[in-house]
Amino acid sequence: MAPRLKIGLLGGSFDPVHFGHLLAAQDVFEQCKLDRLILVPAAQAPLKPREVQSSPEDRMAMLRAAVAWDKRFEISDVELRRGGVSYTIDSVRHFRALYPREELFWIIGGDQLPRINLWKDIAELVRLVEFIFLERPGHPARQTPDIPGLRLRRCDGHLIEISSSELRQRVHQGLSLHYFCPQKVIAYIEAHNLYR
């Protein structure tokens, strides 16, 4: 029997995708020795109701522009096609059905860890997937929630202080996105007049 593949799932609004997202993906891929990493753009994040400004088509196009050349990464539009609020449990059920015997990992920032007990159907979620949380090197993990069956792996990440909301504000103010995003993403934002 073939060994089980290790598949990482990284959700987010990606509006726009930036080097913080991409460094996080690479850090997890390398440190956790994943076989595949799938980026999963959310239609609407439940805990960030006003986070998304651009269309699903634009966010998919920006993600493709950012990672099309990198064979380690894939993109799934499952949440965008489903629409509405994107709950992690729905996506994990989808990927568990697609990959019934593989090892699945949902990737989160260390800042999300204290709130994970608020996630929808968390008891089922922890049975279906293991969590990888990204932290800055040398910073101990915050207290983890007491959730029976929760499996956690820590990944030391090159976490950089970039947020998509900050980048949207920079565009709105006429400031440069250089050194925040891949050049192809910047070109797409300019060509489609996003975030003006």
Strand order in the sheet with 152-156: 73-75, 36-41, 6-12, 103-109, 130-135, 152-156
What are the sequence ranges of the domains in the chain?
Answer: 6-191
Determine contact, residues 135/156, Cβ cutoff 8 Å: yes
Residue 189: band (very low, low, confident or very high) from pLDDT cuts 50, 70, 90: very high
| Mean per-residue pLDDT, 63-79 | 97
Question: Which architecture characterizes domain 6-191 according to CATH?
Answer: 3-Layer(aba) Sandwich (3.40)
What is residue 158's predicted lDDT score, i.e. its pLDDT? 86
pLDDT exceeds 70 at position 81: yes
pLDDT digits (tens, 9 = 90+) for 107-160: 998 888 888 999 999 999 999 999 999 986 665 666 678 899 999 999 988 878
Distance CA 174, CA 35 (A): 40
**Contacting residues for 191 by C-beta, under 8 A, at least 6 apart:** none
- Apex 48 CA angle, 168 and 175, nearest 5: 10
Determine contact, residues 54/191, Cβ cutoff 8 Å: no
